[in-house]
Amino acid sequence: MVSIDEVARLAGVSTATVSRALSGRGQVSAPTRERVETAAKSLGYVVSSTASSLASGRTRNIGVIVPFLDRWFFSTVLSGIASALMRRGYDITLYSLTADGEQRRSVFADFLRRRRVDGVVAISIELGDEETERLRELDLPVIAIGGPNPRLTTLTVDDVAMARLATSHLLALGHRDIAHIGASPEFDIDFHIPTRRRQGFEQAMADAGVPAHPALFEPADFTIEGGFRAAQRLLGRPGARPTAIFVASDEMAIGAILAARELGIRVPDDLSVIGIDGHELGEFFRLTTVDQFPLRQGERAADAILAELESGAEAAPHHEPGRLPFELIVRGSTGALSA
Amino acid sequence: MVSIDEVARLAGVSTATVSRALSGRGQVSAPTRERVETAAKSLGYVVSSTASSLASGRTRNIGVIVPFLDRWFFSTVLSGIASALMRRGYDITLYSLTADGEQRRSVFADFLRRRRVDGVVAISIELGDEETERLRELDLPVIAIGGPNPRLTTLTVDDVAMARLATSHLLALGHRDIAHIGASPEFDIDFHIPTRRRQGFEQAMADAGVPAHPALFEPADFTIEGGFRAAQRLLGRPGARPTAIFVASDEMAIGAILAARELGIRVPDDLSVIGIDGHELGEFFRLTTVDQFPLRQGERAADAILAELESGAEAAPHHEPGRLPFELIVRGSTGALSA
DNA sequence: CCGTCCCCTGCAAGCGCTTGCAGTAAGATC
DNA sequence: GATCTTACTGCAAGCGCTTGCAGGGGACGG
């Protein structure tokens, strides 16, 4: 492997000058810089990240903590983070928090403390107090996407407002018997997003003076299949059927659409369905949704962490609640209430 | 941040002994080891990966190259890799090869050459000659999953055999008019899996003495929507309809099932559909498939790279073609040909 | 023509570990 | 009891960079 000394020798300068020329820190005359760059290129020199990190204290590496890798939302956010970071020359090291509690603990107790990263992005994880504390102890910039955490800088989307927007859309179409598919209460213990979406739903209903019937709520597990079953229960009951369903995620909403089809209920003629997220399959299923642009969320998180790094200003945690954009995307799964 | 010196002082030994006690390399008496471990724990010491890497040349970090992060197959394999690697205390740094060609080049020309990783896993990427060469120049263990590459150690599943198995299943059920949904030829240029699956299909048909009608092939793009459209074309044509479809991926197969439903064609009564992959949605759609266990593929790749690292033996590239397991999973989307 | 200032460059001291080598003491061998 | 081993530990030299500091001009002003 070629080292900085060889480049220095070839360019006829000291290693200090090579370092400065290639990193852009400190003064180097234009001709010298050019000689160094030529030498480096001809030798195929690439700086050793370990040596550079040790000497400088900068790693050019961001740690990303993800609860699941194989769920659409998280992998999409991750994808946004990865492309934005790589564009700026940063590496990213991945910390996946599987179901295994012991392993999760070791991420905070060991992995992250190896000084391998300059900053951390945590995607939609409800962090425990101790975990939050561990993160703060790292003394590194941390950006959390999702669950607002008063002790960390967070990028959040206003879940209540999103849910209100979705519900208002249904109300504006004339619907009154609106059901809601959300998460079961025990889910909420460490994952508050479904609760907030439910609150938004209830607020919008209350604002419109429409009573939200408790029987029109069904819990599910945020999968297509879960949404399917919840919708089956909702639509298969004797008595009056809801004319619309606000579903707390697109995947569950797709399940609901499939359930309706199976029951011979036409969407949107007999039933309107709206989801939340902006899932890639939404277009195919013609699903009306409130998009939260997860890819861009990842990019924004990457930009935010780089901004903190480059400003050097370890700004006090400033939450920006509800700052992430969202947008109603009307497709074919919602329609006016038929008389 | 606490350093090794503090631990040494507290334990009353030299830093050399601390290093040996904590890393398990070299001899340390049991009582000394215990004192060191106690001291380290009480100070919350975690070794600095950069310093350790620089001194030892080992990073305890594996690079993973992924073509897409937000596609089910890749993120599932990645998930398997991540959990297996973290279990062994390894970090993983992610190199995402977006569509951007320039960025892709920089992964091989710069990112990977920073000496940040001890080994590389490449997931289902058809690597160009120059890229392969770059990887070999790294002089690190490399494991490629997927596309067999004679110059790298690869873990592959026998795509031809999988396709034969799927096709045989349909043939055994009595089907003769079997269509195939695969990839369009231009896709194949840098992605040979679809071609191999098609070959397996044709072989199985030929072996059974059944002519594979060219009109019964439809290309698609490996998405649900693509499969949907391909099936629409296949099933909407005037004339005799196929009684079964072998689809080259589960996602496309799901699309095909949805298309059939929309056309009022009953699955499996009027049409059998079989896919390949083992997609998580397969169960929900009752899709018969040939599972290739992507999660376990990732785990095996992780194990393989660690084995190479720990043996130290930079074994010559040994491809193990067709060594990865696959299995026919019969669910509800295939059935005997009705008379 | 000399002093100042500003660029540019090199020197050399680390960054926080790991590990070859050497030294010590205790146990083993005869 | 002398000599070898063997097990353990410490010393100190790096690993390949970065960067504070200082020195050497050239430009410029007086």
B-chain residues near A287 (CB < 8 A): none
Interhelix angle A159-172/A193-207, rounded to 10 degrees, is 40
A-chain residues near B228 (CB < 8 A): 284
Percent of chain B predicted with pLDDT > 90: 77
- A residues 163..222 contacting B (CB < 8 A): none
Task: Give the residue carrying structure tokens 């849910």.
Answer: A163
Residue A187 is predicted with a pLDDT of 61
- d(CA B116, CA A160) in angstroms, rounded, equals 43
H/E element, A95: strand A91-96
Interhelix angle A4-11/A30-43, rounded to 10 degrees, is 130
CA dihedral A64→A67→A73→A77, nearest 10 degrees, is: -10
Helix ranges (DSSP H) in chain B: 4-11, 15-23, 30-43, 49-56, 72-87, 101-109, 129-137, 159-172, 185-188, 193-207, 224-236, 250-262, 294-311
Contact between chains at A49 and B116 (C-beta distance less than 8 A): yes
Contact between chains at B54 and A49 (C-beta distance less than 8 A): no
Mean pLDDT of B16-43: 93
* Higher pLDDT, residue A295 or B320: A295
Residue A316 is predicted with a pLDDT of 53
B315 — pLDDT class (breaks 50, 70, 90): low
* Higher pLDDT, residue B126 or B304: B304
Chain C nucleotides with an atom closer than 7 Å to a protein C-beta: 7-12, 14-20
Question: Which residues, 6+ apart, have CB-to-CB distance to B140 below 8 Å?
Answer: B117, B118, B119, B120
Q: Which of B60, B65, B70 to mutate to test the interface with A (most CBs of A within 10 A)?
A: B70
B209: alpha, beta or left? (left if phi > 0; alpha if psi -120 to 50): left
Would you say residue B159 has pLDDT above 70?
yes
Beta-carbon-side half-sphere exposure of residue A167 (alpha carbons within 13 Å)? 29
| Domains by residue range for chain B, with CATH | 4-56 (1.10.260.40), 61-157+294-320 (3.40.50.2300), 159-291 (3.40.50.2300)
A-chain residues near B54 (CB < 8 A): 48, 50-51, 54
* Cβ contact B58:B277 at 8 Å: no
Contact between chains at B61 and A103 (C-beta distance less than 8 A): no
Question: Nearest-CA neighbor of A187 among A215, A227, A221, A218?
Answer: A221
A143 has which bridge partners?
Answer: A121, A153
* Cβ contact B76:B108 at 8 Å: no
Residue B186 is predicted with a pLDDT of 67
CA of A1 to C1' of C16 (A): 23
First to last CA, chain A: 76
- d(CA A323, CA B275) in angstroms, rounded, equals 42
Does B96 reach chain A within 8 Å, measured CB to CB?
Answer: yes
Candidate from B82, B115, B261 with C-beta closest to A48: B115
Contact between chains at A86 and B107 (C-beta distance less than 8 A): yes
Does B51 reach chain A within 8 Å, measured CB to CB?
Answer: yes
Does A224 reach chain B within 8 Å, measured CB to CB?
Answer: yes
Angle at A247 between CA B283 and CA A273, to 5 degrees: 95
Mean of all residue pLDDT scores within chain B:
91
Segment-wise mean pLDDT, segments of 10 residues, chain A, 339 residues: 93 95 91 94 96 96 94 94 94 90 90 95 89 92 86 91 97 95 72 87 94 88 94 90 95 97 93 97 97 96 92 58 86 89
B266 — pLDDT class (breaks 50, 70, 90): very high
Q: What is the DSSP letter of A120?
A: E
Does A98 reach chain B within 8 Å, measured CB to CB?
Answer: yes
Q: What is the DSSP string of B84-96?
A: HHHHTT-EEEEEE
Is the shortest CB-to-strand distance from A29 to strand C under 7 Å? yes
CA B86 to centroid of chain Cα atoms: 17
- d(CA A294, CA B85) in angstroms, rounded, equals 27
Burial-class residue B151 by CB neighbours within 10 Å (0-12, 13-18, 19+): middle
Question: Nearest-CA neighbor of B154 among B192, B102, B202?
Answer: B192
A-chain residues near B283 (CB < 8 A): 225
A-chain residues near B47 (CB < 8 A): 114
B-chain residues near A89 (CB < 8 A): 110
- d(CA B113, CA B86) in angstroms, rounded, equals 23
Residue B185 is predicted with a pLDDT of 72
Residue A188 is predicted with a pLDDT of 56
The encoded tokens of residue B119 equal: 């080994």
- d(CA A266, CA A264) in angstroms, rounded, equals 6
Mean pLDDT of B66-91: 94
pTM over 0.85: yes
Residues with CB under 7 A from strand D: A 1, 3-5, 15-16, 18-20, 22-23, 25-26, 45, 47-48, 51-52, 54-58; B 12-17, 20, 26-33, 54-55
Candidate from B46, B54, B110 with C-beta closest to A46: B110
Does B263 reach chain A within 8 Å, measured CB to CB?
Answer: no
Question: Nearest-CA neighbor of A293 among A334, A333, A250, A254?
Answer: A250
Dihedral of alpha carbons A11, A12, A17, A18, sign: positive
